[in-house]
Amino acid sequence: MRIAVVGTGHVGLTTCISLAVFGHDVVGTDVEEEKIALLSKGVSPFFEPGIEDLLKQEMESGRLRFSADPSVAIPGAEVVFICVGTPPKMTGEASLIAVEAAARTVARYAEGRTVVVEKSTVPAGTAQRVRRTLVQERPEMADGFEVVSNPEFLREGHAVEDSLNPDRILVGAESEWAREVIRKVYEPLTAKGTPLIETDIATAELAKHACNAFLALKISFANALARICELSDADVDAVVDVMGADARIGRAFLNAGLGWGGSCFPKDLQAFQRLSERLGYPFPLLEEVTRINTDAIDSVVSKIEDALWNLEGKKIALLGLAFKPGTDDVRAAPALALARRLIELGADVIGYDPEAMGPAKAEVPDLETAPDAYEALLDAHCLVLCTEWDEFKHLNLERVKSQMAYPVVVDGRNMFEGTDMEAQGFTYYPTGRRALK
């Protein structure tokens, strides 16, 4: 099928590549010409494991092309995916300016019957607005446009595998014709058993918010438990293992730590809150989920203060700056929220991350950076493990201790073993377990 993808960010580029892998003829377009210039050379504008190899492979196969010119990308496409950003406004609501602009562009250049797929995360009701925009722009095509909601569930750092092997495909559509077109798009996945869930449009839009809110709630539940475990001599990891052994609960997304960040959870939770208020059923549980997440940072600050007393003039090394391992994305990264707090409190903060150093420095200019973990730890009074990159598991603890001014470790992701830390003589503050001091 001939498919156009509008927006080539994380979701858009992954969509372009996976659709090409499924055998479709794909053209990606973006208003950011620099992005298209990079992509046209086979270079990904962001770090994502495996994405560049597949990008090159699909471009060489001839199935995937990019053009900054929508008059090249859109005409002739049976299906157009809208994958533009929906950043939060000051109010917390999702800004839909880019979605509207994309809809206008699609309307202008579409030829013949076209299924317009909303893949960006948007509040329930957006598809109707998109449809209205399409028809306002091209009244003569009123019967030619079908809007479909097809939310994306991919995780950064696993974007390629998640889009090539999703748990499920969700499609909200109104007409059998549109449903049939989308079945054809995803036939290579459904043929190998991936479930395709078909709903109405509002249900699909809402389901995406519900999934992200529930995942964030699971993490915040574990983080609240962690605080209680620290006060009661229980072990949060063991508690969540017990919970996870119950098939009704499941173990995933119950890891206590520095909390959740990234480009989706914080913005989607806020947008869901605002949507529920607007609809007349406020959802204060979501506010509490966010409060507990902020509390996870406060808890780490308290541990550092417990170990170091005053922070003025103390050097604190943060290992891991990305919002999670496997990405260079620092949007709403808990490590950066912590860095800002510690800098405010007068500490000298130095950070190291295998991928995210440039973006982190751009976000927090007062954050010093080091070329590797050991360098960051030189004369540090405290090490805070913020992001659980694999390479930190293999640190030589003896060398770490010999380089630090004080042997204090605050483990924001429970990556180290308490027994190893004790054996090396560290003062060790894990998450959700009593400190060893």
Catalytic residue annotation: 264
Q: How far apart are CA 157 and CA 150, in angstroms?
A: 21
With beta carbons less than 8 A apart as the criterion, state whether 92 and 107 touch.
no
Stretch that binds ligand UDX, among 56-64, 163-171, 254-262, 306-314 (CB under 6 A): 254-262
Q: How far is CA 413 from the centre of its chain?
A: 18
Eight-class DSSP state of 140: G
Contact window for ligand UDX (CB under 6 A) among 182-190, 251-259, 341-349, 427-435: 251-259
- Of these, 15, 18, 149, 255, which contacts ligand UDX (CB under 6 A)? 255
- The answer to the question of residue 354 lying near ligand UDX (CB under 6 A) is no
User: Hey, which residues between 124 and 143 contact ligand UDX (CB under 6 A)?
Assistant: none
Query: Closest CB to ligand UDX among 264 and 404?
Result: 264
* Secondary structure of residue 348 in the 3-state scheme: strand
Strand partners, 114: 145
Q: Select the residue interacting with ligand UDX from 58, 156, 205, 230 (CB under 6 A).
A: 156
- Of the residues 20, 102, 169, 219, which one makes contact with ligand UDX according to CB under 6 A: 219
Give every CB contact of residue 23 below 8 A, 6+ residues apart in sequence.
Answer: 63, 188
Taking the C-alpha atoms of residue 112 and residue 11, their distance in angstroms, rounded to an integer, is: 26
Distance, CA of 155 to CA of 264 (rounded, Å): 9
Q: Within 26-45, which residues bind ligand UDX (CB under 6 A)?
A: none
Binding part of the chain for ligand UDX, among 51-59, 248-256, 347-355, 357-365 by CB under 6 A, reads: 248-256
Indicate the DSSP class of residue 209. Answer: H
Closer to ligand UDX at the Cβ: 117 or 254? Answer: 254
Angstrom distance (rounded) from CA 156 to CA 325: 9
Task: Answer yes or no whether residue 152 interacts with ligand UDX by CB under 6 A.
Answer: yes
Q: 301: number of CA atoms within 13 Å, CB side?
A: 20
Q: Which of 64, 171, 264, 409 binds ligand UDX (CB under 6 A)?
A: 264
Query: Which C-beta is closer to ligand UDX: that of 253 or that of 406?
Result: 253
The reply on whether position 260 binds ligand UDX by CB under 6 A is: yes
By CB under 6 A, is residue 154 in contact with ligand UDX? Answer: yes
User: Using the rule CB under 6 A, is 262 a contact of ligand UDX?
Assistant: yes
**CA distance linking residue 100 with residue 136, whole number of Å:** 12
Does position 204 bind ligand UDX by CB under 6 A?
no
Using CA atoms, how far apart are residues 216 and 261, in angstroms rounded to an integer? Answer: 9
Is 414 a binding residue for ligand UDX by CB under 6 A? The answer is no
Task: Give one DSSP letter per residue of 313-336, joined into a string.
Answer: T-EEEEE--SSSTT----TT-HHH
Binding residues for ligand UDX, rule: CB under 6 A, are: 152-156, 212, 215, 219, 253-255, 257, 259-262, 264-265, 323-324
